[in-house]
Amino acid sequence: MAVERVGTDLGGSDLTLLQRGVWRVAWFVVAGVAKAWFRYEVHGRENLPAEGAFILSPVHRSNLDTPLLPVIRKEPIRFMGKDSLWKVNRFSSWFLTTLGGFPVDRDAADRAAMAAAEEILARGDTLVMFPEGTRRSGPVVQPENMFDGPSFVSGRQQVPIVPVGIADTEAAMPVGKKFVYPKKLVFVIGEPIPPPQQNDNGRVPRRLVKEHTELLRQRLQELFDEAKSLR
């Protein structure tokens, strides 16, 4: 089955009534289940931009991180997912896309996914990008695990990054486990980080992207620590 590479059918004012309905129902289901099972708390919602595009960049410790992120805001968000999820069947492909997902090839430099990410932001949507790339373990956001993708895209589109600390999804669903434990989860949303500035040629120097990534790492660590202290 062909996998849709660029999610041009969902976003902002382009949402159909069906897509809006599916998103709203899914939000209530996710928020309701999460409240009952995880007793989750969200701190810092006031830091979410009221309008305009931005990148949402959380720490990543569990497969729960992506499906639970909608609890922090009711408006639709877009997120990347491994392309194999779109190949299960036609319904899963439609459902994931309707909920804001688009596939990315994690085994190669996926130019189409990056182009989709920039297109989504150019339309004014919210995009989730995990700066650690994949699930990590432990209480420290390691510099060697940070990817420049969010900062690069932030600079290209001149949109802010909103960092998010999440505790305790790793304990709720550890790597390799299928059972979901009823741990209390805390989300802490940080203040937006302005994008790295472009030069006169409209490009962001690699040095500034690297510095921006390190700033993002430091903010994530602070928010991660704060989230764990609030459990």
Q: Is residue 84 part of a domain?
A: yes
For the domain that residue 205 is a member of, what is the CATH number?
A: 3.40.1130.10
Closest CA to 182 of 63, 34, 31, 71: 34
Domain span at residue 222 reads 12-229
Whether the CB-CB separation of 112 and 133 falls below 8 Å is answered with no
pLDDT along the chain (231 residues), means of 10: 38 62 88 95 97 96 90 88 78 77 70 84 93 93 95 96 97 88 97 96 94 98 98 90
| pLDDT for residue 107 | 65
| pLDDT for residue 9 | 42
Q: Is residue 1 part of a domain?
A: no
Closest CA to 179 of 30, 37, 35, 60: 37
Q: Is residue 91 part of a domain?
A: yes
Whether the CB-CB separation of 226 and 188 falls below 8 Å is answered with yes
What burial letters (b/e) apply to 173-190, b meaning 16+ CB within 10 Å? beeeeeeeeebebbbbbb
Q: Is residue 2 part of a domain?
A: no
Q: Name residue 58's amino acid.
A: P
What's this model's pTM, rounded to 2 decimal places? 0.87
For the chain, what is the domain count? Answer: 1
| pLDDT for residue 106 | 65
